[in-house]
Amino acid sequence: MGIEEKEKIYGKEAPAITGSFASKRLRPGDTWKIYLQASDPDGDMDQIACTLVQPAKGEYSPSFVKIGEGNSKELSGYLHLNTKSRDGSGWMNFLNVTLTVQIQDKAGHYSGPVHFPLAFQDRFTREPVPDGVFEEQDLGPIMILLSPPDSG
């Protein structure tokens, strides 16, 4: 089915990310929460596309998080990324990565991208989430496993 047929069923409006927050600093091994608010006038938000870039490693395969039916018109909550390393060797200390998030609807439209830089260091503490802005609703895991730059 082409985009024109999908637009007849689902509508022509693209979703929009209207608010976002993620700590820019984290200790290696902590869980990173990425908070989002989004809306879609057509009410057909379908999935959240997440891509992560790591210097000297490149871009990981994208991770897609399915949006629940109750959140297809408006959503507020967080995605989460597990940052525990496989070997626990501490290679993540001083690592910097960038996560890009977009929302796709059932017609195939994408929201504009939102970029989240993250720096790891043992001494960092997570920045607090703004009070009263985002719901504490778990939207799902980002299925990307960070690996050392010299691994395959």
pLDDT by residue (tens digit) across 7-53?
A: 888 888 999 999 999 999 999 989 999 999 999 999 999 999 999 99
Is the distance from CB of 78 to CB of 142 less than 8 angstroms? Answer: no
Taking the CA of residue 96 as centre, how many other CA atoms within 13 Å lie in the half-sphere pointing to its CB?
4
Query: In this predicted model, which residue has the larger pLDDT, 109 or 92?
Result: 109
| Tokens read off for 14 | 């693209």
Is the domain spanning 3-128 CATH 3.30.200.20? The answer is no
**AA letter at 38:** A
**In angstroms, rounded to a whole number, what is the distance separating the alpha carbons of residues 45 and 130?**
25
Query: In this predicted model, which residue has the larger pLDDT, 1 or 146?
Result: 146
pLDDT for 88 equals 60
Q: Which single residue is written with the structure tokens 């999935």?
A: 47
pLDDT for 56 equals 84
